[in-house]
Structure 1
Amino acid sequence: MLTIRLARGGSKKRPFYQLTVTDSRNPRDGSHIEQVGFFNPVARGQEVRLSVKEDRVAHWLSVGAQPSERVAQLLKEAAKAAA
């Protein structure tokens, strides 16, 4: 089953997340099929907090990928910001 979820990067106490499409059986930071965006929860000032490749996310959702709960919230936030 395909999942769109967050893979953690960054350093200690400075998280940075990649939005990735992966098989749900893979580990959180394991291999992925495609990176479809990023989320920086500690962005300050002019730094970009959330970036989503909306066309690729729409493609993966159309072929049956399921977003995690947090990714679903982030996708709503990105859609709201784009509108």
Structure 2
Amino acid sequence: MVVRIRLVRYGAKKAPVYHIVASNAQKLGTFYPRPNLDDRSKHIQLNFDRTKYWLGVGAQPSDTVSRLLAKAGLVPPKNLNL
């Protein structure tokens, strides 16, 4: 069985917060897709050690999580131009 790293939606209606979890529901980080009012940037918070561990033992990130991890520098970006 392959362990997947995916997003789980939390938060209120029209104010989503996504937790980045491995399929055994261990929280690896948090992603806030709504920009802050101060600096207008989206916020991602990751536990790099645990994320590297799960990637090292063969966990496969979903497409969305793969893009977030590529922005954080943990995985190489996927080439979508086939």
Alignment-derived partner of residue 20 in structure 1: 21
Deviations 1:14-65 (A, max 9, x none): 1100000015xxxxxxxx1x10000000131268710111111110011110
Q: Percent identity?
A: 37
Alignment-derived partner of residue 5 in structure 2: 4
Identify the structure with the greater helix proportion. Answer: 1
Q: Which structure has the larger Rg over C-alpha atoms?
A: 2
Structure 2 CA distance for aligned equivalents of residues 4 and 16 of structure 1:
16
Structure 1, gaps ≥5 residues long: 24-31
Contact 1:51 1:78 in 2 (8 A): no
- Tell me which of 43, 54, 64 is aligned to 1:60: 54
Structure 1 runs of 4+ with >4 Å offset: none
Q: CA RMSD in A?
A: 1.9
Alignment-derived partner of residue 33 in structure 2: 41
TM-score, length of structure 2 as denominator length: 0.77
State the AA in 2 paired with 1:68: S
TM-score, length of structure 1 as denominator length: 0.76
Structure 2 CA distance for aligned equivalents of residues 6 and 36 of structure 1:
10
Q: Secondary structure at the match of 2:66?
A: helix
